[in-house]
Amino acid sequence: MQPPQMRSDEERAVDADIQAAEPPILVKFASVAQGLAGLFVGLTGLQMVDFRWRVEWASYVPYCLLFLGAAGLGMSAMLYRSRRWAGIASPILGAVTALTMVGWLFHVLTNVFSCIMWVAVPLSCLSTILSAVSVGPVLRTAAARRRLSDRGMNLGL
């Protein structure tokens, strides 16, 4: 019978980093919320592109919503991959999107009825909250991946 082999601290640290390299479920939920918010914000903008508004600045908002929706979809993919910069930029984009959607909702509340907008507003607020809460886990995951990469285990991530 062989005695159990003792693992070194380095091996235990590598194992812990490998486990930490997978994004936590909170980051995955934040990514899904950001992607859905981006989809519905973009659809809201697309739905209102042909509208004619009395005030000139309101004609540019649908294009802004299209841009924010596309940016939200792209940011969602980078957040899911736990990129360090996405962990920081995602709550900022979410806050800008949520503020834009809430402001737009109050502006068109009595003029336009859009079912998509009633989904986009709460989703953009939820996306902002989840993205802000997931900053810490994203940074920890990115740090674990960097440590693994420094040890020669890039993992392709």
DSSP E strands, the chain: none
What CA–CA distance (Å, rounded) separates 130 from 95? Answer: 11
What CA–CA distance (Å, rounded) separates 46 from 63? Answer: 8
> Tens of pLDDT along 69-106?
999 999 999 999 888 999 999 999 999 999 999 999 98
Kindly give, in sequence order, each residue whose CB lies less than 8 Å from that of residue 50, ignoring residues fewer than 6 positions away.
Answer: none
Backbone phi, psi, residue 64, to 5°: -65, -40
User: Looking at residues 54-71, what average pLDDT do you find?
Assistant: 91
> Tens of pLDDT along 100-142?
999 999 888 877 777 898 999 999 999 999 999 999 999 988 8
pLDDT of residue 151: 73
| Residue 52 CB neighbours (<10 A) | 6
**pTM for this predicted structure:** 0.83
